Chains A and B, each alone.
Chain A
Amino acid sequence: MHNMTATVAFTPERLEKVKEIIGRYPEGKQKSALLPVLHLAQEQHGWVSSETMDYVAELLNIQPVEVYEVATFYTMFHLEPVGKHVIEYCRTGPCCTMGGEEVYAHLRERLGIETGETTADGKFTIKEVECLAACGWGPCFQIREKYYMHLTNQKVDEIIDELSK
């Protein structure tokens, strides 16, 4: 158990950040820090394991189940290991209107994987997401904080080439 905690523990900088985040809310309302802290956890580990959730519960002094129910509700949290680059592809109407489905087919073909899968070399995972609030700049996908917009087949190839280096 102790070893587990050691592997999911935050870096000292992130622990500082957690303290700062908790301080943003009124006394006793530290549960409000849950979403920002889960984002920090995912930033560090790439995904959110149940050990990580237990650790977050301990940090915020709440029950583990309170973390599980939240982490499973919000789609941004990866509850299983993912590839190095998670491509979150917008599948919603306006992007499709702008050619999103064709470009998505090309992306899957290029990587040789389907939605939810990870490439054999562990570099890429593709997920489908709903509207990313970039509809007029679509088709689009997101990798971590970065938005990739006005996608075409050629642009997808360039992005994948660049990230494969």
Chain B
Amino acid sequence: MAESIKILTEHFHQEGIEKLDVYKKHGGYAGLEKALKTMSPEQVVEEVKTSGVRGRGGAGFPMGMKWGFLAKPEGVPRYLVCNGDESEPGTFKDHYLMMKCPHLLIEGMIISSFALGANTSFIYVRGELMYVINILEKAIAEAKAAGYLGKNILGTGFDLELVVQPGGGAYICGEETALLESLEGKRGNPRNKPPFPAVKGLYQCPTVVNNVESIATTPWIMLNGGEAYSKIGIGRSTGTKLISASGHVKNPGVYEIELGLPVEEFIYSDQYLGGIREGHDLKAVVAGGSSVPILPKHLILKTAAGEPRLMSYESLSEGGFASGTMLGSGGFIAMDETTCIVRNTWNFARFYRHESCGQCSPCREGTGWMEKVLYRLEHGKGNERDIDLLVDVAKKIEGNTICPLGDAAAWPVASAIRHFREEFEWHVRHPELAIAPGAVFNKETEAVLN
């Protein structure tokens, strides 16, 4: 791919882009002016449908279609809630977007609220990012002073208040119904669905929940049209995607890529990750945040059929779970040959055990169990049966829980064993070479074990 198209980040390097006047100088708020002054809410929804843009929070559900499902009973308020919880390991793109260019999200929130008929909208940001919350609040005050928020915006009769809500440290609050519970001042326990948020969401009113990056695409779509957006990318993976890259690459960071970019180019080209760190070789990649299946080098670069793997929803999932993975949230974690897959899998398992809300027993018990067994294996105390036990526990969690956190916990374990089984077996056969028990990262797991 030649010149890469930048839809979201084109002006991010401009000095002072977090300020309203600089943002406006680079075309900011023009999409909003066009939408509010020349379009009806229905037309805005249509443009977003035409664009084909899919939710960037992980599930990839078409945004326009979701907007179309919103119930509109007479006399009942509707809400738009932006999901900035961003707690999926490997994912830090929304953090980057909100910190660099808060007005892009705010402009997108105003356009989207207008389309949905919401007069109070929320941006829920993980509580750890208090400095980002301050940046957003400052930008909201600026937008309000400029007449983009408040009563009768730009004389169009549309009213909107924008509220930034901090979380309190809980990955599960990224799940949309847990997020709504949290926003109501409760524990983040996911709700049973149905009813879906589109019918009964925040305060039991119709609600749309969308990711930060999803919302941020709307100013460009308003200005350039949904048709133009749909021509970027590949197939049903339209547009660009923010990828947050970490691990053993030369240039970790956040990249905006056109969907359809070959994975090989993304990893090895100097325009992107610049390859694996000096003197090392790629071993495995987790392409879409910790929840998606891990793939060994040969399967991330090429599909099982030998086709080049592309950064798109379809290509990454080609081959299903046998040989594929998912684009997910775009958290791209690269690991070189020094990485112990068992240790990494244990680390992720601990994460999911820690973050399980505990409502359903397969998730609550299963995540704890997987962590325990992985800890045993990693510390040279496991046996051959443990590996099958892990597969079995993962299978029993999958599909049997209220929310997808259960699946998210099971997939990394199942895929690590599928592709790196010999490494687990090695830990069983060479207990003396497995990591010394004295080198425990923390005491908590030992307590779990005892």
The 8 A CB mask of B105-124 against A (1 = contact, 0 = none) is 00000000000000010000
Which listed residue (A26, A66, A142) contacts B77, Cβ 8 A? A26
Looking at B120, B168, B186, B188, the one whose CB has the most chain A CB atoms below 10 A away is: B168
- Using C-beta atoms within 8 Å of the partner chain, give the interface range for chain A: 35 or more
Assess whether B182 is in contact with A131, with CB atoms less than 8 Å apart: no
Select the residue from A60, A76, A101 with max chain B CB neighbours within 10 A: A76
Please tell me if A111 contacts chain B, counting CB pairs below 8 Å: no
As a 0/1 sequence over residues 21 to 38 of chain A, the CB contacts with chain B under 8 angstroms (1 = contact) are 000111001011111101
Set of chain B residues within 8 Å of A129, measured between Cβ atoms: 128, 169
Check A114 for interface membership: any CB of B closer than 8 A.
Answer: yes
Complex Cα distance, B131 from A147, in Å, reads 9
A46 interface residue per 8 A CB criterion = no
Complex contact B245–A145 (CB within 8 A) = no
Query: Is B43 interfacial (CB 8 A cutoff)?
Result: no
CB contacts (< 8 Å) of A76 on chain B: these are 127-128, 168-169
Instruction: Looking at the assembled complex, report how far the CB atom of B26 sits from the nearest CB atom of chain A, in whole angstroms.
Output: 25
For residue A115, which residues in chain B have a CB less than 8 angstroms away from its CB?
Answer: 442-444
Determine whether the beta carbon of B203 is less than 8 Å from that of A135: no
Query: Among A32, A38, A60, A98, which residue has its beta carbon within 8 angstroms of that of B246?
Result: A98
Which residues of chain A are within 8 angstroms of B290 by Cβ–Cβ distance? 92-93, 131
Task: Decide yes or no: A94 and B89 within 8 Å by CB, A101-B441, A130-B354, A133-B126 being known contacts.
Answer: yes
CB-based contact B86/A133 at 8 Å: yes
Residues of A within 8 A of B171 (CB): 130-131
Select which of A29, A69, A77, A137 is within 8 A of B187 by beta carbon: A69
List residues of B (346-370) whose CB comes within 8 Å of A's CBs. Answer: 347-348, 351, 354-355
In this assembly, does B166 line the interface, its C-beta being within 8 Å of a C-beta of chain A?
yes
**A129 CA / B252 CA spacing, docked (Å):** 22
Q: Which of B91, B127, B166, B185: most chain A Cβ within 10 A?
A: B185
Contact of A130 with B130 in the complex, beta carbons under 8 Å: no
Given the known interface contacts A70-B186, A73-B168, A74-B127, the answer about A96 and B203 at a Cβ–Cβ threshold of 8 Å is no
Check B131 against A146 for contact (C-beta < 8 Å): yes
Measured CA separation A31–B185 after assembly (Å): 5
Q: Mark B325-343, 1 if CB is under 8 A from A, else 0.
A: 0000001010100010001
User: Which size bracket describes the interface of B in this complex?
Assistant: 35 or more
Tell me if B90 counts as interface (CB < 8 A to partner A). Answer: yes
B170 close to chain A: CB less than 8 A: yes
Contacts of B343 in A (CB 8 A): 96
Q: How far is the CA of A97 from the CA of B286 in the complex (A)?
A: 12
A75 at interface by CB-CB < 8 Å: yes
A59 within 8 A of B: no
> In chain B between 233 and 275, which residues have their CB closer than 8 angstroms to a CB of chain A?
244-248, 252-254
Are the CB atoms of B182 and A130 closer together than 8 Å? no
Establish whether residues B442 and A133, one from each chain, have CB atoms under 8 Å apart when the complex forms.
no
Which residues of B lie under 8 Å from residue A98 when comparing CB positions? 246-248, 252
A26, A35, A98, A115: residue with the most chain B Cβ atoms closer than 10 Å: A35
Instruction: Specify the chain B residue showing the minimal Cβ separation from A72.
Output: B187
Within 281-301 of B, Cβ neighbours of A (below 8 Å) are at 290
Q: List B158-191 residues whose CB lies under 8 Å from chain A.
A: 161, 163, 165-171, 182-188
Residues of A within 8 A of B89 (CB): 92-94, 130-131, 135
Contact A75–B247 (Cβ < 8 Å): no
Min Cβ gap B349→A in Å is 10
| 0 or 1 for each of A118-140: is its CB under 8 Å from B? (1 = yes) | 00000000001111111111100
Contact among A93, A134, A137 for B347, CB-based, below 8 A: A93
Nearest Cβ in chain B — how far from A127, in angstroms? 10
Q: Is the CB of A70 within 8 A of B87?
A: no
CB of B229 within 8 Å of the partner chain: no
A77 touches B442 (CB 8 A): no
Which 9 residue pairs of A and B lie closest in terms of their CB atoms, listed nearest first? A74-B168, A136-B252, A76-B169, A31-B185, A34-B185, A75-B169, A135-B246, A136-B246, A94-B246
12 A-B contact pairs sorted by A residue (CB < 8 Å): A26-B120, A35-B127, A91-B442, A97-B339, A98-B252, A130-B87, A130-B89, A130-B355, A131-B88, A131-B290, A133-B128, A135-B90
**Given A70-B168, A92-B290, A94-B89, list of 14 further CB < 8 A pairs?**
A29-B184, A36-B165, A39-B168, A74-B167, A74-B169, A76-B168, A92-B351, A96-B343, A96-B344, A97-B335, A104-B441, A131-B88, A136-B254, A147-B131
Residues on A facing B (Cβ under 8 Å): 24-26, 29, 31-36, 38-39, 60, 62, 66, 69-70, 73-77, 88, 91-94, 96-98, 101, 104, 114-116, 128-138, 142, 144-147
